[in-house]
Chain A
C-alpha cells in the first residue's frame, strides 16, 4: 500500500509538472503573439498617420510640426521610394522628403514651396529633435526652422555632443582642415556627417566620418534656399539627388501644362499682351527643356536662375499691363 501511495504521489507531481509546463508555454506563446501583433499594428498606424502628415505638410509651408515617437524608429531608404516604420513600409514615390536615414524619439518637420518662379513643388523636411545640427563659424540661420536642434559654435572644438544619436556639422570653410572634438570622435562613423556650403558656386560638399577624421562623400548643387535646406537635411548626396529628381519631374510636367495654358491664352483677343506672352512662352520652353534631365547640375542651376529672373520680370510686366499672368 505504501508503494502504491508513493507511485501515486510521484505520478501526480509528474502530471502536474507536465501540464503546468504546457500551460506556461501556451501562455508565453500567446503573450508573444499578442505583443508582436500589437507592435505591428502600432507600426502600421504610425506609417499611415505619417503618410497623412507628409501629405498635409504641403498645405502648411513654413509651419513647424513635431511628433513624439515612443519606441518607434523611422528609416528613410537611399532610393527615396519608401520609408519604414519598424517592419511596415509606406511609399513616398512622388513626395520629395529630405531627411536623415533614421529618425527616432521625436520627429520634427517643416516644408517650403519651391518656386521656379511659379510654384513647382513642395519640399518636405523631416528630422529628429535628437539630431544635432552644428553650424561651425556660421552666424546666419541658413533658412533652417527653429524646431530643430541647431547649435552655433565659433569653432568645431567648442562643440560637445549632448547625447544626440546623430550629428550633422555644417561649414562654410573646408572641414577637412579641422579635427573632430572628442565627443564626436567616439561616435559611430555612420552617425556623424558634415557638409560644406559653397555659396559662390551654389554647391554643397558632403563628408562622412571615417575613424577620427572626415572624408569626402560627394557634391550636389542647389538652386535656392529651399534646395539648400534640402541639402542640409539630406543624410547623403543620394537622398538629396533622388528627391530632387521627383521635384524636377513635377517641374517638367507643370511647365508643359503652363506652356499649353499660354498657347490657349494667346488665342484670345488681347493684342497688347501677345508679345510679352510669347516671350514668356519661350522662357517656359526653356524650363521644360532644362527639367527633362532631372539631375540638378551646376550649369542647370545657373540656367534655371536666369530663366527664373526673366520669367519673374515678364510676369511683373504682364501684371502691370493687366494681362493674364504666367503664374
Chain B
C-alpha cells in the first residue's frame, strides 16, 4: 500500500514539474512576443512618419511646374499663397490625404528682396484630430520660386506630425 502511495506521489510530482517547466516556457515566449510586438510597433510608427513625409512629394497644388514637369524640391510661392486661401485644413479630402499633420513653409533666404510681397511663413495645414500625445518635427530644405519675377529663394518645409 505504501509502495502504491509512493508510486502515485511520484506520478503527481513528475506531472507537476513538467507543468511548472511548461508555464515557465510559456511566460518566456509571451515575453519574447511582447518585445517583438513593441519593436514592430516602433517600426510601423517610423514607416507611418516616412509615409506622411512622402505626401509632400506628390503635391501638384504647391510644387513648381514647368510645362507639367513637377519639381518635388521646388515650391511655387504663388501656388502656396493660393493653396492657403483654399484652406485645406477645412477640406475632408485634404484631411484624409494629410492626416494629423502641421505643414508650414518658411522662407529662410536672408536676401529676400521682396519682403513686402511675400510673408516669411505660410501655415499651410494644421489638423490635430483631437488630443495628441506626441509631436515630431521634420525639416526639409526646398527652393521657393516666384514665377512672376523669376526669382528663387531658400526655404524650409516644416512637417509636424501629431502622435
Closest to A27 in B: B22
- A176 adjacent to chain B (CB < 8 Å): no
- B133 adjacent to chain A (CB < 8 Å): no
Kindly state the separation between the CA atoms of A254 and B59 in the bound complex, as whole angstroms.
10
Given contacts A118-B60, A253-B61, A256-B86, contact A12 B11 (CB under 8 A): yes
Q: In the complex, which of the residues B7, B58, B68 contacts A117, with contact meaning CB atoms closer than 8 Å?
A: B68
Chain A residues within 8 Å of B91, by CB: 253
- A155 adjacent to chain B (CB < 8 Å): no
Q: Is the interface of A mostly helix, strand, loop or mixed?
A: helix
Q: Is the CB of A254 within 8 A of B8?
A: no
- B147 adjacent to chain A (CB < 8 Å): yes
CB distance from A174 to the nearest CB of B (A): 37
Q: Is the CB of A94 within 8 A of B65?
A: no
- B131 adjacent to chain A (CB < 8 Å): no
Q: Is the CB of A253 within 8 A of B47?
A: no
Q: Is the CB of B58 within 8 A of A58?
A: yes
Q: Is the CB of B4 within 8 A of A254?
A: no
- B123 adjacent to chain A (CB < 8 Å): no
- A160 adjacent to chain B (CB < 8 Å): no
B48-56, B103-111, B134-142 - interface stretch: B48-56
Kindly state the separation between the CA atoms of A240 and B44 in the bound complex, as whole angstroms.
31
Kindly state the separation between the CA atoms of A270 and B149 in the bound complex, as whole angstroms.
10
Given contacts A8-B4, A122-B58, contact A51 B70 (CB under 8 A): no
Q: Is the CB of B54 within 8 A of A94?
A: no
CB distance from A110 to the nearest CB of B (A): 16
Q: Is the CB of B96 within 8 A of A94?
A: yes
Given contacts A55-B54, A115-B68, A315-B67, contact A270 B82 (CB under 8 A): no
- B40 adjacent to chain A (CB < 8 Å): yes
**CB-CB contacts of A52-93 with B at 8 A, as 1s and 0s?**
100110110000000000000000000000000000000101
Chain A residues within 8 Å of B96, by CB: 91, 93-94
CB distance from A44 to the nearest CB of B (A): 8
Which residues from 23 to 72 on chain B have a C-beta closer than 8 Å to any C-beta of chain A? 26, 33, 40, 44, 47-48, 50-51, 54-55, 57-58, 60-61, 65, 67-68, 70, 72
| Total number of B residues with any Cβ neighbor in A under 8 Å | 41
**CB-CB contacts of A35-58 with B at 8 A, as 1s and 0s?**
001000100010011011001101
**CB-CB contacts of B86-100 with A at 8 A, as 1s and 0s?**
100001011011000
- B81 adjacent to chain A (CB < 8 Å): yes
Closest to B146 in A: A324
- A119 adjacent to chain B (CB < 8 Å): yes
Given contacts A119-B65, A253-B61, A270-B148, contact A52 B51 (CB under 8 A): yes
Chain A residues within 8 Å of B51, by CB: 51-52, 55
Kindly state the separation between the CA atoms of A120 and B96 in the bound complex, as whole angstroms.
17
Chain A residues within 8 Å of B55, by CB: 55
Q: Is the CB of B67 within 8 A of A30?
A: no
Chain B residues within 8 Å of A48, by CB: 44, 47-48
- A28 adjacent to chain B (CB < 8 Å): no
**CB-CB contacts of A178-203 with B at 8 A, as 1s and 0s?**
00000000000000000000000000
Q: In the complex, which of the residues B1, B54, B81 contacts A59, with contact meaning CB atoms closer than 8 Å?
A: B54
Closest to B147 in A: A324
**CB-CB contacts of A92-133 with B at 8 A, as 1s and 0s?**
011000000000000000000101011110100000000000
Given contacts A52-B47, A260-B85, A264-B82, contact A4 B67 (CB under 8 A): no
Given contacts A59-B58, A253-B93, A257-B61, contact A324 B148 (CB under 8 A): yes
Instruction: Please provide the 4 A-B residue pairs with the shortest distance between their CB atoms, ordered closest to farther.
Output: A260-B82, A58-B58, A119-B60, A261-B82
- Sample (10) of A-B pairs whose CB atoms are under 8 Å apart: A19-B15, A26-B22, A30-B26, A58-B57, A249-B93, A257-B86, A260-B86, A261-B76, A261-B82, A264-B82
User: Residues on A close to B: CB < 8 A?
Assistant: 4-5, 8, 11-12, 15-16, 19, 23, 26, 30, 37, 41, 45, 48-49, 51-52, 55-56, 58-59, 91, 93-94, 113, 115, 117-120, 122, 249-250, 253-254, 256-261, 263-265, 268, 270, 315, 319, 324-325, 327
User: Residues on B close to A: CB < 8 A?
Assistant: 1, 4, 7-8, 11, 15, 22, 26, 33, 40, 44, 47-48, 50-51, 54-55, 57-58, 60-61, 65, 67-68, 70, 72, 76, 78-79, 81-83, 85-86, 91, 93-94, 96-97, 147-148
A-B contact sample (10 more), CB < 8 A, given A55-B51, A261-B82: A4-B1, A52-B50, A55-B54, A59-B57, A91-B96, A122-B58, A264-B78, A265-B78, A324-B78, A327-B65
